Chains A and B, each alone.
Chain A
Amino acid sequence: MAETHVPRGGRVRLATVDGDLTVGAHARIEVEGRLVVGGTASFDGSSDVRGSMECREFISEDGTVTIAGDLTVHGDLKSHDGAIDVHGALTARRVDVDRGLRIEGPAKADRFEVGGVLEGAQTLLAERVSVGGRFRLGGKLEAQSVEAGGSVDLQEVAIETLEVGGAIRIGGGEVRRSIEVGGRFVAEGPLSFGSLDVGGFAELRDSAKGGSIDVGGVFSAAKDLAFEDLAIGGIGRIGGSAQGRDLDVGGKFDVRGNFTLTGTVDVGGAISVGEAFVGARLEVGGKLEARRAVFSDSIEIGGAAVTREGLKAAIVRLHHRSKVQGPIVGTEVQLERGSRAEDVYGMRVEVRERCEVRRVVAAEVRVHRDATVGEVLFSGSADIAPGARVMRGPQKVEPLPPFPL
Chain B
Amino acid sequence: MLNGREGSGTPRRREATDLYATVLEVVKRYHGAARITRVSYGAGMPVDRLRSLVERLVSLGLLKTEDLDGRPVYDITPRGQEFLSTYWKMRGFIEVLEANPEDRISRRRG
Binding site for B on A (CB under 8 A): 81, 98-100, 115-117, 130-134, 147-151, 163, 165-167, 169, 182-184, 186, 198-201, 215-218, 233-235
Contact = CB atoms under 8 A, between A and B. Distances in A.
Contact of B88 (A100, A117, A169, A199): A199
B38 A115 contact: yes
B84 A150 contact: no
Interface stretch (B40-48, B53-61, B64-72): B40-48
B37 to A, nearest CB: 7
B107 to A, nearest CB: 11
Contacts of B24: 165
A117 B1 CA distance: 11
Contacts, number: 120
Q: Is the interface of A mostly helix, strand, loop or mixed?
A: loop
A116 B44 CA distance: 7
* Chain B interface SS verdict (over half): helix
A99 B43 CA distance: 11
B41 A98 contact: yes
B38 A98 contact: yes
Contacts of A131: 29, 42
A234 to B, nearest CB: 6
Size bracket, chain B contacts: 20 to 34
Contacts of A167: 1-2, 6
Interface of B: 1-2, 6, 21-22, 24-30, 37-39, 41-44, 84-85, 87-93, 95-96
Contact of B29 (A100, A132, A215): A132
B91 A133 contact: no
B38 A217 contact: no
Contact of B43 (A133, A148, A217, A234): A133
A171 B110 CA distance: 25
Given A115-B38, A115-B41, A133 B26 contact: yes
B84 A182 contact: yes
A132 B93 contact: no
B61 to A, nearest CB: 19
B42 A133 contact: yes
Nearest to A152: B1
A217 B29 contact: no
A149 B38 CA distance: 11
Contacts of A201: 91-92, 95-96
Nearest to A151: B1
Contacts of B6: 167, 169, 184, 186
A81 B43 CA distance: 15
B95 A218 contact: yes
B1 A199 contact: no
Given A132-B43, A165-B22, 4 more contacts: A149-B22, A151-B2, A200-B91, A217-B92
Nearest to A81: B37
B55 to A, nearest CB: 19
